[in-house]
Chain A
């Protein structure tokens, strides 16, 4: 693994509004990285600076050791920018071939590459279509396809599945997963469940400041661990009392009537998850989901 992005004291000011406030972080290549935060937190501004669309007001940033927008990054860094649309005058395949040629492909190879990425996004039937004849979701998939041209080392995806139907959103998640060995994806999204499945590292931006840089992966080296169980049916109070009675459980909290988070001593009860499943079975209850650790939402937003 190597450092893929380095930001130091990055700030961006729009007039009197401070969109990014002294943000510093370092990210390594590898698994997808999530960028989360409420609307107006500065996610798109950060993406725009990283892609070279905007200049920071102060601070420094480097991608793969180069300044954003420098020619050394052509073909190595690509993006799905928020709300960007293709040229309405040209067919999809023609435009993607044009982008591939700019990335160094010859005429014929560019056409093959454009077809390949459109096929990845299940858009082979739209090769000759103009962008205006496509639905919003299809246009978004074409925009994601353009980000996959060549073999980029780093891909920024701003809300990649927003507005897509579940089947296509799933396909995009699958593509990200399958490509994430050779490509590092930085994904901005409000869909925390999606990010939880895809990403190992999460950056939380709030009011232009980096609040957290956390790992989603379960940390088995710590004494305390968490189990999140989503029940199906039984009385919440009865479940909570029973869970609390399990050995080595420190506390049980309930976010809503069906979802419970158990904090327990992992060293003393490493097989608590199996005990929990057995208990649910013995009680004749049913559950919908059992997750090791806290959900991303709880990690980021619970106090």
Chain B
């Protein structure tokens, strides 16, 4: 018999592999990937590469193609995250499938296994799209290869960190309602209403602006204006948000009725 932490890690690994196979080894998953690839092709050709001339003068970003990729990806992936990661546990819970799982894996393994797999799946897409932007840049000018690679690594790291609190928020919301659509609607409602309330109160009490930091993704607008080297200076915001949301999600998962 495996000890409990080892058993937890083993179960998590099995769940992550299973979730990966849902996207990368199933016919439906391939259909999603094909659709995403097609959409990304148009975004890359008609948006990313088209605005390269507009962002070419940006200070601190050596490769224009990756600069424009950064501007687009910074909003595209968080938005995509709302759709992609909404169904972490809600369908399984309403269908009763989680009842089969909790007899074999502890709730932590299921909750964190699903969260990590969603993060990794998004990373595969981020890395793949960043690679296409890098290839486009190198095809245009071969000398930017190493500078572009450095930019791509920083961009991918930033996106990974930026997606943590949003994915964690979806993990938490997925435990509270019964369908993917409800999760997405709830996320948008919470996001919009929290922003509006904080903005409204801050108008009269400026110190209240500090609460802006509790909203996942609030640092994105600031990030887009920073030079490449400074982008990680705001990493503490999403990391702290992600930590708080994951702790809250874990508590809900432990107490939720199945």
Interface residues of A (CB under 8 A from B): 48, 51-55, 69, 71, 73-75, 77-79, 81, 83-90, 98-99, 101-104, 143, 146
CB-based contact A90/B26 at 8 Å: yes
CB-based contact A99/B100 at 8 Å: yes
Interface size on B, residues (CB 8 A): 27
Q: How far is the CA of A87 from the CA of B2 in the complex (A)?
A: 27
CB-based contact A75/B99 at 8 Å: no
B contact residues around A69 at 8 Å (CB): 102, 106-107
* Known contacts A71-B7, A71-B8, A89-B28, A102 near B101 by CB under 8 Å: yes
CB-based contact A98/B102 at 8 Å: no
Stretch binding the partner chain, chosen from B90-98, B128-136, B144-152 = B90-98
3 nearest A-B residue pairs (beta carbon): A84-B96, A102-B104, A53-B258
* Known contacts A81-B96, A85-B97, A52 near B14 by CB under 8 Å: no
Q: Could you list 23 A-B pairs, sorted by A, with CB under 8 Å?
A: A48-B257, A51-B102, A52-B103, A53-B258, A54-B257, A54-B258, A69-B107, A71-B106, A74-B106, A75-B104, A79-B103, A81-B96, A84-B99, A86-B97, A87-B92, A87-B95, A89-B26, A90-B22, A99-B101, A101-B14, A102-B104, A104-B2, A146-B100
CB-based contact B14/A102 at 8 Å: yes
Asked whether any CB of chain A lies closer than 8 Å to the CB of B255, the reply is: yes
Write the B50-71 contact mask toward A (1 if CB under 8 angstroms, else 0).
0000000000000000000000
B contact residues around A89 at 8 Å (CB): 22, 26, 28
Q: How far is the CA of A101 from the CA of B92 in the complex (A)?
A: 19
* Known contacts A89-B26, A102-B14, A84 near B100 by CB under 8 Å: yes
* Known contacts A53-B257, A55-B255, A71-B4, A87 near B103 by CB under 8 Å: no
| Interchain nearest-CB distance for A114 vs B (Å) | 13
| Interchain nearest-CB distance for B250 vs A (Å) | 15
| Interchain nearest-CB distance for A186 vs B (Å) | 14
Q: Which of B73-126 contact A (CB under 8 A)?
A: 92, 95-97, 99-107
B contact residues around A99 at 8 Å (CB): 100-101, 104
